[in-house]
Structure 1
Amino acid sequence: MPSREQFHSEMEELNQDIIQLANRTKKALSDSLEALFNQDIELAQQIVSDDKLIDKEEARINDKVILLIAKQQPVATDLRRLIIALRVVTDIERMGDNAKNIAKSTLRLGENYHTGLPVELKAMRDTSLIMLETAISAFQNEDITVAHKLAEMDDKVDKLYKQVVTDMLGKTASNSEDIQYVMQIAFSARYIERFADHITNIGESILFLVKGEIVDLND
């Protein structure tokens, strides 16, 4: 197989690895909210444990990118494509960290809290999952029109986050359990908001890849 064809074959394999990793973080976020709302300690512990697999996969993909650069010595768009791959996989790994942190909040709250959780958390999760699906599509197709759609969805997540924090600040915490509840729910909302921010980073990377311009989708 000619070197050029080999490069494109390896790039396609690399992109599939990245998409699979993104889908792992998608499941991690979905499961983390499931664990939080159902007080599922076992599921939360599994999410924390599985994050190590996400970290290992990120390292493996990074090594693959570096090897490709060393072997193929790409230039212009091909080199930019590999640099973007490194950026995207870093954002995906951090998304996994945020899902893990929600699971840790579940573990800190334990099984005995009885206060209802803000429904906005699920709305934040649902919007973030749609965002991730949109980002994956944009990444696969290098589609800047799709990537631009992430900004509006991220604004929705930001508004929901502010609502949760405002509600938490308005609660009267009279004992240590109440204080812990307010803290962990506010933290969990923040982790989802950060998850969404990393998705917009992926969108920005796609825009830079295709247009060679830096665009702030969080603006």
Structure 2
Amino acid sequence: MDTRPNYRQSLAELQRYLMKMGNEVEQQIQQAVQSLTDLDERKAKETVSRDDSIDDMMMRIEERCLRLIALQQPMATDLRIIGMTLKIAIDLERIADHAVDIAKVTLRLSGEKLVKPLVDIPRMAEAAMGMVKDSLLAFTERDIQRAAALAEQDDVVDHIYSSMLQEITGMLGKEPSSNRQWIHLLLVANYLERVADHATNIGEGVIYLVTGKRKDLNL
């Protein structure tokens, strides 16, 4: 019989709130990339303004984690779960920061015409956010197979990034007036590559949480 039902309920609510934060961050990345694809200044500004909400969610999770530790004195597995929840929240907040970075690129390019229709960046964003989804599912389900599979998904993101890097470095200098925009697009690709890295960080944490062993998924 569970002698601390309120504690168990609080732990479950904490993880549900983390998933809510993950959903908000996913929407923020999608909106940021869409703002860039359409050069939509309104969507870019909305993305930037949503960041305060994400920061607030991160602080709420931190407060809940610290309260559980202080009042319930969790042991062993529960303590690792709470610590992992806080670590994931930090990763999600940093992903949200990258959404803001992308939105700011949109604002810098406002009024211009894109040097080419964006194909690789939306593909990269979809792959990276798919990794974030899977990393969060791996955490909630304690699924180490799903977590380990993030390594292969990260390879996909890295391949797209490498292709973009090769293309853009080849274009620089051909039309000097376009150099600034090419560099901004490469920055966006770099932000998305970092999003994928945060997802692998979460996956590594899940593997450690379940097995007690550390595994590097970002080789």
TM over 0.5: yes
Equivalence for 1:14: 14
> What do the CA deviations read for 1:10-35 (whole angstroms, capped 9, x no partner)?
11000011001011111111111110
Equivalence for 1:53: 53
Task: Report the secondary structure of 1:23's partner residue.
Answer: helix
Gaps of 5+ in 1: none
Gaps of 5+ in 2: none
Equivalence for 1:89: 89
1:196 aligns with 2:183: no
Distance 2:94 2:67 in 1: 23
On the 8 A contact 2:204/2:217 being kept in 1, the answer is yes
On the 8 A contact 1:7/1:72 being kept in 2, the answer is yes
Distance 2:91 2:194 in 1: 10
Task: Report the secondary structure of 1:116's partner residue.
Answer: coil
Letter in 1 for 2:45: Q
On the 8 A contact 2:101/2:191 being kept in 1, the answer is yes
Equivalence for 2:128: 128
Distance 1:3 1:67 in 2: 19
On the 8 A contact 1:40/1:111 being kept in 2, the answer is no
On the 8 A contact 1:204/1:217 being kept in 2, the answer is yes
On the 8 A contact 2:172/2:182 being kept in 1, the answer is no
Q: Which moved more, 1:115-124 or 1:27-36?
A: 115-124
The CA RMSD over aligned residues, in Å, is 1.5
TM-score by length of 1: 0.95
Letter in 2 for 1:92: L
Distance 1:118 1:164 in 2: 11
Task: Report the secondary structure of 2:200's partner residue.
Answer: helix
Equivalence for 1:155: 155
Q: Which runs of 4+ in 1 moved over 2 A?
A: 172-175
Equivalence for 1:218: 218
Q: Which moved more, 1:185-194 or 1:127-136?
A: 127-136
| 1:172-187 equivalence runs, <5 A | 172-173=172-173, 174-175=175-176, 177-187=177-187
On the 8 A contact 1:118/1:164 being kept in 2, the answer is no
Letter in 1 for 2:4: R
> What do the CA deviations read for 1:156-187 (whole angstroms, capped 9, x no partner)?
00110111111111113444x42220111000
Instruction: Using the TM superposition, give the Cα deviation of residue 96 of structure 1 relative to its aligned residue in structure 2, in angstroms.
Output: 0.5
On the 8 A contact 2:98/2:192 being kept in 1, the answer is yes
Instruction: Using the TM superposition, give the Cα deviation of residue 3 of structure 1 relative to its aligned residue in structure 2, in angstroms.
Output: 5.2
Equivalence for 2:113: 113
On the 8 A contact 2:37/2:118 being kept in 1, the answer is no
Task: Report the secondary structure of 2:215's partner residue.
Answer: coil
TM-score by length of 2: 0.95
Distance 2:6 2:205 in 1: 24
Letter in 1 for 2:112: N
Instruction: Using the TM superposition, give the Cα deviation of residue 118 of structure 1 relative to its aligned residue in structure 2, in angstroms.
Output: 4.1
> What do the CA deviations read for 1:178-213 (whole angstroms, capped 9, x no partner)?
222011100000001001110111111111111111
Equivalence for 2:142: 142
Task: Report the secondary structure of 1:60's partner residue.
Answer: helix
